[in-house]
Amino acid sequence: MNLFDVYSLFDITPVKAQNCYVWDDQGNKYLDLYGGHAVISVGHSHPHYVDRISSQLNNIGFYSNSVQNPMQQELADKLGQLSGMDDYQLFLCNSGAEANENALKLASFHTGRSKIVAFERGFHGRTSGAVAITDNPKIVAPFNESHDIQIVPWQDIDAVEKSLSGNTVAAVIIEGIQGIGGIHIPSNEFLVELHRVCKKYNTLLILDEIQSGYGRSGQFFAFQYSDIRPDIVTMAKGMGNGFPIGGVLISPEIKAAKGMLGTTFGGNYLACAAGLAVLEIIQQEGLLEKVNKSGKYLLSKLSVIPDIKEVRGVGLMVAIEKNENIALIRKELLLKNYIFTGVSGTCTMRLLPPMTLDESHIDYFISSLEASVDSG
């Protein structure tokens, strides 16, 4: 049987990984500044993470959501403590798109409305509602087009208010930091205004923190750089450090009803063990402080490299934009210097490394980048 051929692949076969490094089947060692697409938060194969999941598997790996599972509450408590959002409620699922899909559904249940407003350049996943609110017509099938959505220009508060004024919009969704769109950070002023107009028209505000969440920005959630409290926050990626888990944080005003949301796998024992291990490591190793420190170091080093059009980002979520196609530089970094990086469009490199990245990793990347910018 053939695999359904939807991914463009590098000819590299990773077989082992440790902290910020990945080894391929030829024995080459790569510095991972991509984090497996913003997923590796506490470092590859962290011993506490491996231990938590493997010992859990030796006890019980799975049962359904029809019995008590105290690990879900343990995870909710720890998440509430570390994120400062202890008064919110947690719904557990399996991926980013699923978290957004549930958030949209919840907003619709709560308001009795169906329309969703999202932003240009945004990405929210590939399930039915999530892909409909993603600003990329190439991945929206006719089946997904029936949703009632409006995509408005980035940070255009007048356009948002105009679309909300008919009192038909269930929710506005915005990424804490636009990831796939190329690392664009909404300003505090804009988020405060957005929050205000949402309240004015009884529309819920959903923060998609699937890529920007879990400490990557230097705050637990990127929106916490601003003065707002969203109605719903979605998360996935770094939440399980590679174990599939997603979640929806739901404000106390939104009431649950039995059967309103559900999933077979969401919140299973292994996912909870992974999620708890991640939070414990973030806390024990002071990873938010570490991200702040190394993020500042990275940005300061990047700011003096010539021939770069713009560097954007905060913490360890950083874009490097050139005036020309970035593909050759990324290829050289990968094949000559053994560094994984991410991309956005044609001219922007994205860095989404594990939060455990330190200055020596950054120094190696900077000297490699300088050399490839010179030769490019």
Residues that bind ligand PLP (CB under 6 A): 95-97, 100, 123-125, 175, 179-180, 208, 210-211, 236
Rg of the Cα atoms in the chain: 20
In terms of CB distance, is 118 or 347 closer to ligand PLP?
Answer: 118
Question: Which residue, 194 or 362, has its beta carbon nearer to ligand PLP?
Answer: 194
Q: Which amino acid is at 81?
A: Q
Residue 38: CB minimum distance to ligand PLP, A = 7
CB nearer to ligand PLP: give 262 or 286.
Answer: 262
Q: What token pair was written down for 193?
A: 């205004």
- Nearer of residues 69 and 134 to ligand PLP, judged by Cβ: 134
CB-CB contact of 33 with 365 (8 Å): yes
Minimum distance from residue 92 beta carbon to ligand PLP (Å): 14
3-state SS, residue 177: coil
Shortest Cβ 331–ligand PLP spacing (Å)? 22
Burial class (CB in 10 A: 0-12, 13-18, 19+), 169: buried
CB of 332 to ligand PLP, least distance (A): 25
Give the residue with the Cβ less far from ligand PLP, 42 or 245.
245
Residue number closest to ligand PLP, CB atom: 96
Smallest gap, in angstroms, from Cβ of residue 307 to ligand PLP? 28
Q: For the chain, what's the residue count?
A: 376
Tokens of 281: 């490591």
Strands (E), the chain: 14-18, 21-24, 29-32, 89-93, 115-119, 149-152, 169-175, 204-208, 232-235, 246-250, 310-314, 317-321, 339-340, 342-344, 348-351
